Amino acid sequence: MMSMPGTIAFDEYGRPFIILRDQEKQTRLTGNDAIKTHILAAKSISSTIKTSLGPKGLDKMMVSGDGEVTVTNDGATILKLMEVDHEIGKLMVQLSQSQDDEIGDGTTGVVVLAGALLEQAESLLDRGIHPIRIADGFELAAQCALKHLDSIAEDFPIDVNNKEPLIRVAMTTLGSKIINKCHRQMAEIAVDAVLAVADLEKKDVNFELIKTEGKVGGRMEDTCLVKGVVIDKTMSHWQMPKVLKDVKLAILTCAFEPPKPKTKHKLDVTSTEDYKELRQYEQDKFLEMVKQVKDAGATLAICQWGFDDEANHLLLQQNLPAVRWVGGPEIELIAIATGGRIVPRFEELSAEKLGTAGLVREISFGTTKDKMLVIEECHNSKAVTILIRGGNQMLIAEAKRSIHDALCVVRSLVRDSRIIYGGGASEISCSIAVAKEADQLSTLEQYAFRAFSVALESIPLALAENSGLLPIETLSELKSRHVAEKLPSLGVDCMLTGDSDMKNHHVIESLHSKKQQIILATQLVKMILKIDDVRTQHD
C-alpha cells in the first residue's frame, strides 16, 4: 500500500481511501445519551447562577486571565465572564445575552427557567417519551402560560407628571443589586433619564441619548443625572475660564495644527532665516485657523484631536477656550445635544454649524485633582448623562450594570405598559394554569405540560431558598392560597415582612420582560432536545 501526504491513501489496486485522524480518540454520542449530556451541562450552569436570584441572592466574583476582578449578580455578565467551554453551556450564555439585548433585565431568571425545563425533560426521557413530543408539549405549554400572563396583567399608567408607579418598577429591578442602599435615588435617576429622552407618542426610547459615566471617588449617594453631556476632559489650558455662559460651540474633527506638506520629498532648512520663515508661516496659519473659528462666532472649540503647547498658548492669547482629545462617541453626543454640526475642515466652518449651550462648566470632586466638563442647558435637552460616583472602580462598574437594567425595564414599560407582580407570583399563577390545562388533555403532551408547570415553580423555589425560607413549605402555602384566594399577586416574601401580597410591597415586573423570558427559555430547550448526535474528540 502506498500512501501520500495528507489523509488520502491508496490500496494495492490504486483506489483512494480517506484515513480519519485520531479515530481511536473520538467518541460519539447518539440518541438520548447525547441529549442527557446536554441537559447535564445546562443544569450545571443553571445551578451555578441560581443562587444569584432575588433580593437576597448572592454575588459572584469573576477573575479574568489577567487578574481583573468583577463582582456582580447580573446573570448576563456572570455568564459572559465564565469562559464556558461546553457547546450547550455556550448556548446558555447566548440565551442570557439575548434576554439582555432584548429586554435588559431577567437574565438570571431566564437561565434558571431553561435549566429547570431541561431537568424536567430528563425525567420524561427516562419514562420513554420521545424528545420531539417533549419539545412540542413544552411549546404548547409556553403558549398556555403566555395566554394566562395576558389575563393576569394589569394596565399601567405612564404619566410624566406622576412618576411614582415607574419609580416603583425600577426599584423592583434594583432590589437585588449592590446599589440598593440608595435604592430610591437610583430608581428616580433611571426614570428621569428615560422620560427625558422618551417619545411617548411613538412609544419609543432612544438609548443612544443616555450616557453613563463613572468617576471613582465620593459616595454612591453623589450619583446624579445631568441634563446634558458630561465629558471626562478639562479645558486645554489651566488659565482658561472654568465657567462659560451662552456658549457657541465649534465641534471640530480637524486638528489645530498647520497643514503638513503633502510630499514625499525632504524639506531641508539650511539657514536661520528659512527656519524663522517656516516658524512664522506655521504661526500665521494657526492664527488664521483661530480667526476662522472666532469669525464664525464660536466661544468654545471642542476638538477631537490634540494640539501642542504652543497652539494651546496661542488659543489662550486669542481668548478662545478649547477642549482637546474628545472621543468620537462624545463628539456625536455633544453634536446631538447642542444642535451643532461636526466640522471636518476649518474652511467649512460657519455660524449655522455651531452648537448652542446655556452653560459649560468644569466640576471638581472633593479633594481630588480630577475634573470633568459639563455641557448643560443645551439646544436639544434630550441628551442626558448619568454620572455615577463610588468608592472604587468595581462598585462603579456594578452600579452601571444595575442602572442599565433599571433603564431597560422602564423602556419596556414605555413600549408596552402592562405589568405583572414579581416575587415569583406570576410564575406560581402560570404554573397552576398550565397544570389545570394538562388535566384537560388526553394526549401524551399532558406529561410535558405538567413538567412545564413544575419547571415554572423553580423561580419561586430559588427565591425562597436564597431568602433563607423553607422552599417547599413556602411554595405549597402560596399555591394553596393562589387557588383559594384567586390573587395572582401572592409571591415569596423575600424581605420577611410577614405579607406575601406583592401588590402591597410594590414588587412589579414588566409583562413584556416575563413573556420574553418564557419564549426564549422554551425556544432554547426545544433546540437542545432536538440535538441527538455529538462527536467529541479527547486529547
**Which residues does the annotation mark as catalytic?**
74, 107-108, 405
Distances (CA, A) of 94 to 54, 113, 125: 22, 14, 25
| Rounded-to-integer distance, Cα 525 and Cα 39, Å | 9
Q: Is 85 left (phi over 0), alpha (psi -120 to 50) or beta?
A: alpha
C-alpha cell at 365: 470632586
Distances (CA, A) of 515 to 227, 416, 491, 528: 33, 12, 18, 20
The secondary structure element, H or E, covering residue 407 is: helix 393-415
In the block, residue with C-alpha cell 485520531 = 22
Q: Is 246 left (phi over 0), alpha (psi -120 to 50) or beta?
A: left
| Rounded-to-integer distance, Cα 176 and Cα 498, Å | 19
C-alpha angle 15-20-25 in degrees, rounded to nearest 5: 150
Q: Are 443 and 131 in contact (CB under 8 A)?
A: no
What are φ and ψ of residue 228, in 5° steps? 165, -150
Dihedral angle, C-alpha 188, 106, 156, 457, nearest 10 °? -130
Residue 535: how many CB atoms within 10 A of its CB? 10
150-173 exposure pattern, b = at least 16 Cβ within 10 A, e = fewer:
eebbeebebeeeebebbbbbbbbb
Distances (CA, A) of 423 to 72, 417, 462, 475, 484: 20, 19, 10, 12, 19
In the block, residue with C-alpha cell 462617541 = 329
Distances (CA, A) of 305 to 291, 299, 322: 19, 18, 11
In the block, residue with C-alpha cell 403532551 = 445
Q: For residue 355, what is the DSSP state?
A: E
In what order do the strands lie in the sheet containing 154-155? Answer: 154-155, 418-421, 508-510
